[in-house]
């Protein structure tokens, strides 16, 4: 069974297709191409990326590629729909907190300007000219959204084979069935006990995104998700899992729920018609009505 793993977007990406044949290999190659392409355009760690170049001139309308434009546009829609709990303009504050290392080179990426009160409202898009304009100097962090996009585009390449799995470090897409002919089973890691699962779910033609405070944690309790409204790491939630039709949607909503906390997080999931599980730091589990464990 073809399985291939590559490093991309700060994580390991694994693609698995139970079918065989040269067309599978070609589709797998195209799937990985999307990861490379999107990373090259949307990374905030690489000063050569299209994102960094487009962010270098605050105040000017910069024409960008369809990829960058659509990723930013979706990020802004997600910011609006979550009342700013998800906000792609937290990039500068992430840098200030030391989340600035390029995973390939180890270099510190810093755009140098001080953090300020920039929000998603400072980013303007012009749909007819395909331009992005930053109302003030800010750093867009498209991390999760860009990775979700890459997963979804890779899923489109593999869709003709029906059965496939894409795992991009917490963002998964499961097409069809596994090699045994049953829906893919996805284990959700226990946020505090390494190697144990707190839940498992069955997924078919769905993206599953899990985000935990145990990833990239700093000694003082700060982790990789910031509340865009306060600049601090939210402390109530230990992990969030979202199952949705698209990985980009699952990723953005999981990040937002981390910030919102369990009550408003579940409310957000219900309103956006996705399934979700939120585990708080006291290990209480909050679920949407539709969330079901795998049998």
Least Å distance, CB 113 to other proteins, is 27
Q: Is the CB of 95 or the CB of 152 nearer to other proteins?
A: 152
Q: Is the CB of 113 or the CB of 270 nearer to other proteins?
A: 270
Q: Is the CB of 62 or the CB of 68 nearer to other proteins?
A: 68
> 123: which 2 tokens?
């980013």
Rounded Cα–Cα distance for residues 242 and 253 (Å)? 7
Specify which residues 184 forms β-bridges with: 203
Q: Is the CB of 86 or the CB of 99 nearer to other proteins?
A: 86
Least Å distance, CB 157 to other proteins, is 9
What is the number of alpha carbons within 13 Å of residue 291 lying toward its C-beta?
Answer: 20
User: Sheet of 61-63: strands edge to edge?
Assistant: 61-63, 131-134, 123-126
Rounded Cα–Cα distance for residues 183 and 202 (Å)? 6
* Contact set with other proteins (CB under 8 A): 34, 37, 65-67, 70-71, 73-74, 77-85, 149, 152-153, 156, 159-160, 162, 205, 244-246, 248-249, 252-253, 260, 264, 267-268, 270-274
Q: Give residue 162's region: left, alpha or beta (phi > 0; psi -120 to 50).
A: left
> 178: which 2 tokens?
């596994």
Rounded Cα–Cα distance for residues 232 and 230 (Å)? 5
CA angle 68, 72, 77 (to 5 degrees): 150
Least Å distance, CB 181 to other proteins, is 16
Least Å distance, CB 109 to other proteins, is 24
Least Å distance, CB 125 to other proteins, is 12
Residues in the chain: 295
Q: Is the CB of 65 or the CB of 102 nearer to other proteins?
A: 65
Q: Give residue 164's region: left, alpha or beta (phi > 0; psi -120 to 50).
A: beta
Q: Is the CB of 10 or the CB of 83 nearer to other proteins?
A: 83
Q: Is the CB of 241 or the CB of 246 nearer to other proteins?
A: 246
Rounded Cα–Cα distance for residues 246 and 243 (Å)? 8
Least Å distance, CB 249 to other proteins, is 4
Rounded Cα–Cα distance for residues 237 and 10 (Å)? 23
Least Å distance, CB 238 to other proteins, is 21
Q: How big, in percent rounded to 5, are the helix, strand and coil portions of the chain?
A: 35, 25, 40
Q: Using an 8 Å Cβ cutoff, are 163 and 17 in contact?
A: yes
Q: Is the CB of 137 or the CB of 261 nearer to other proteins?
A: 261
């Amino acid at each position: 069974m073809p399985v291939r793993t590559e490093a991309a977007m700060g994580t390991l990406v694994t693609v698995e297709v139970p079918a065989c044949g040269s067309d599978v290999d070609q589709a797998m190659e195209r799937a990985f191409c999307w990861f490379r392409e999107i990373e090259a355009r949307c990374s905030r760690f690489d000063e050569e990326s299209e994102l960094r170049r487009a962010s270098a001139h605050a105040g000017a309308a910069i024409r960008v590629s369809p990829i960058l434009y659509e990723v930013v546009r979706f990020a802004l829609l997600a910011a609006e729909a979550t009342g700013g709990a998800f906000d792609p303009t937290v990039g500068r504050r992430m840098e200030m907190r030391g989340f600035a290392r390029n995973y390939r080179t180890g270099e510190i990426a810093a755009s140098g300007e001080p953090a300020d009160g920039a929000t998603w409202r400072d980013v303007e898009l012009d749909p007819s000219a395909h331009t992005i304009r930053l109302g003030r100097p800010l750093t867009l962090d498209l991390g999760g959204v860009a990775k979700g996009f890459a997963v979804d585009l890779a899923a489109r390449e593999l869709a003709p084979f029906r059965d496939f799995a894409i795992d991009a470090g917490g963002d998964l897409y499961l097409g069809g069935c596994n090699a045994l002919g049953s829906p893919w089973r996805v284990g959700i890691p226990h946020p505090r006990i390494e190697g144990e699962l707190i839940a498992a779910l069955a997924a078919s033609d769905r993206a599953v995104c899990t985000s935990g405070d145990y990833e990239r944690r700093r000694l003082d309790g700060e982790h990789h998700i910031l509340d865009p409204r306060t600049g601090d790491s939210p402390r109530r939630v230990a992990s969030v899992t979202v199952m949705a039709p698209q990985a980009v949607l699952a990723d953005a909503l999981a990040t937002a729920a981390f910030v919102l906390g369990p009550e408003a997080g579940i409310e957000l999931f219900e309103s956006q018609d996705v399934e979700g599980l939120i585990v708080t730091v006291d290990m209480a589990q909050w679920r949407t009505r539709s969330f079901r464990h795998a049998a």
